[in-house]
Amino acid sequence: MNAQPQAVTEPRPDLAGLLRKQRAAFQTHVPNYAARMDDLARLRSAFKQRMDAFIAAMSADFGRRSRHESILSDGFTVLHEIDHIRANLRRWMRPVHRAASWQFWPARGELRYQPLGVVGVIAPWNYPVNIALVPLASALGAGNHVLLKPSEHTPRTGELLKSFLAELFPEERVATVLGGPDIAAEFAALPLDHLFFTGSTQVGRLVMQAAAPNLTPVTLELGGKSPTLIADDYPIEKAAGRIAAGKFINAGQTCIAPDYVLLSKARIAPFVDALRRYVTGRYDQPAASADYTSIVNERQYRRLRGYLDEARARGAEVIELGAHDDAARVLAPTIVLNAPDDTKLMQDEIFGPILPLVEAESLESALAYVNARPRPLAFYLFDEDRARTERVLRQVTAGGVAINDTVLQFAQLELPFGGVGPSGMGSYHGHQGFLTFSKEMPVFYQARFSSLALLRPPYRGYADRLLRFLTR
């Protein structure tokens, strides 16, 4: 078993000083197109060269993390995002013509995309490279200076991020600060031009509260319980495989992992059997498989085991699809049947490889169950009936939806990613990330001649007639 890493003790960061330094640098020189493209090119090249080091750091922080999953979720995603930004940045930066209302002709309007200034990014531990560097790339593409706060729960990765970015950027352009919850609280309270936070709903409330006195705009990427609904005529083996792939990647430590599955009673046993075949075929024994990831720390592992203990004590059926390994913090994929609604398993975001099944005998009852709960970050529907699918889409509101698959909506750079209500506010990825870190500044250009000059005191004659025409 790998011992849990201890955070490196270092001088308390001067957050206010870093903010002043970055703000002064931004006011002196706003990065232009060439500077932004150069920043992104250097970030991509250096990250590709250091990817193995990042994969090793994440695996050390988790105790064991699938190398292939790390490449896919924290390597490919970062490279893919940077490539997309660089391919489209010139077009995104270009002012967009907007017609003036006909009453104001021959005036004209346009939208310009101005960088906000100094933005803060607070990254989580579950995908500690992806959700640090993707918002960073979006912020740099939009022309901002950035303060980054990695999670203290993945200290090796945080240390590597700090040294890696310090080699690429001067402190007044990008600065990384390390530390625990007290540093995070101070970070969130800075008078930033924008604050981007990814984490739990509970902590998201605290972040928003800390940002409020400064009226700092926030993007909150949170979580919640993402439901999955399987139609009665959808192939159960296919559904099980696609749900399992999204649920068990990173051992379920994913904000958009399917949290629970709604299906009819007759399909529960076949679904359990299909999941068992998937786990056996993909991992053999999860506790010994290099392709199956450990739970990040002892606290999270005990939380998950506590969910199972409570559910079992309350009469739920717990079906373990492999052996757990307490010493290595490996929690095997586990199915739970008939868990009472008031158990923590059914109230909290699970964030682990535990999948409750909820009996729903009709589409109406399934939708009522989903809509009686907070709006989720993700909703998954497995149904090949187009009319029924359209009906579901009209009745459900979620941060994002995937039809007949899970989690892959996150990787679509032409689709914004973000929550709604308790699952978050604001969005990013692709163009949406550029917009999140930009001020869409409207500009009105008056023409040499303006007929509205006639609407100035003293109001009489022509002004009366013109006002009657405009308000007819």
Q: Catalytic site residues? A: 221, 255
d(CA 248, CA 192): 37
d(CA 397, CA 416): 15
Tell me the residue length of the chain: 472
Please check whether residue 122 is in contact with residue 208, taking contact to mean a CB–CB distance below 8 angstroms: no
